[in-house]
Amino acid sequence: MDTGLAPESVLHSREVEEVLTGVPTSDGAGVKLTRVLSQPLQRRLDPFLMLDAFGSESANDYIAGFPNHPHRGFETITYMLFGRMRHRDSAGHEGLLENGGVQWMVAGRGVIHSEMPEQEEGRMEGFQLWLNLAAADKMSAPWYCDIPNAKLPQIQTPEGVGVTIIAGRSHGVEGAMQREKTEPLYLDVHLPPGSSFQQAIPSGHNAFLYVYHGEVAVGEKRERVAAGHMAILANQANADGVKLNAGSNARLILLAGRPLNEPIVQYGPFVMNTREEIEQAMVDYRNGRFVS
Ligand code: CO
């Protein structure tokens, strides 16, 4: 079958370095979520700072939402699989994020925003990822864009693997977003039973995947990673990508990026390079300098 796609050729797959489960926690005004990537992994998974997975049928777990809060020094990428969430920010922007859509926000020198559910029942499921900004870009002007599901590039491989390309490129197809310094790859991959999938990843980039449905076998060793687990993919010098196999239906997000190799200092919603810059962020926030 000619799909018009350029096959990803991976000669040597990365193997699983470590499998981790997230930590159940709550954030905002009491939204229940699982922190999959937390602060102790920021150095290992540079340029990624955080990944939260949320998924619940119960309104009590999400209805309180995320009222006004600030960010400075990084990017937030929210991928909403199911549900509706309204975003408002201090620059006067407003948008609705729903079923399968992505919001990509660069907080830069500072934004105050809220993310509130616009549903009182039904399933809400998705991910929020934090991606670091290079030191030179941390005080840049904030911006964001809403990308509805219909505008996200989606491909299907000859084996029937469905891929939504949020960032980076796969099988010769450009994703919705490209970022120059961190070169993030962000794929949502749906593998049907018995299928396999390959994705090229530069060996120097840090990479991980999080399975949210079913189970996937990773690498030549076919190490199994089940739903609710994250696998850090080893940076083997000879590996040029990753190979995945699925025995039954599996769904996962696959992420990779070029490390910034800069100091990381986080205090809550501020991520800078030095302690002094964090103190400055707190002073600026208290003095209303986050409102553009
Ligand atoms: Co936020």
pLDDT in tens, 204-260: 999 999 999 999 999 999 999 999 999 999 999 999 999 999 999 999 999 999 999
* Order of strands across the sheet that contains 143-147: 23-27, 31-37, 48-56, 124-132, 74-82, 101-106, 143-147
Using the mean position of ligand 1's atoms as its centre, give its distance from the Cα of residue 176 in Å: 21
The predicted-structure confidence for 166-206, as pLDDT tens digits, reads as follows: 999 999 999 999 999 999 999 999 999 999 999 999 999 99
Write down the mean pLDDT value for the chain.
95
Q: Report how far ligand 1's centroid is from the alpha carbon of 286 (Å).
A: 17
> Does the predicted model carry a pTM greater than 0.85?
yes
Q: Residue 99's pLDDT is what?
A: 93
Give the distance (Å) from ligand 1 centre to CA of residue 15: 33
Q: How far is the CA of 71 from the centre of ligand 1 (A)?
A: 7
Contact call for residues 210 and 48 (beta carbons, < 8 A): no
Q: Identify residue 248 by its one-letter amino acid code.
A: S
Distance of alpha carbon 35 from alpha carbon 86, whole angstroms: 22
**Tens digits of residue pLDDT in 106-144:** 999 999 999 999 988 899 999 999 999 999 999 999 999
CA–centroid distance, residue 114 to ligand 1 (Å): 7
- Phi and psi at residue 59, in whole multiples of 5°? -55, -35
- Longest CA–CA span in the chain (Å) reads 61
Q: How many whole angstroms from 158 Cα to the centroid of ligand 1?
A: 38
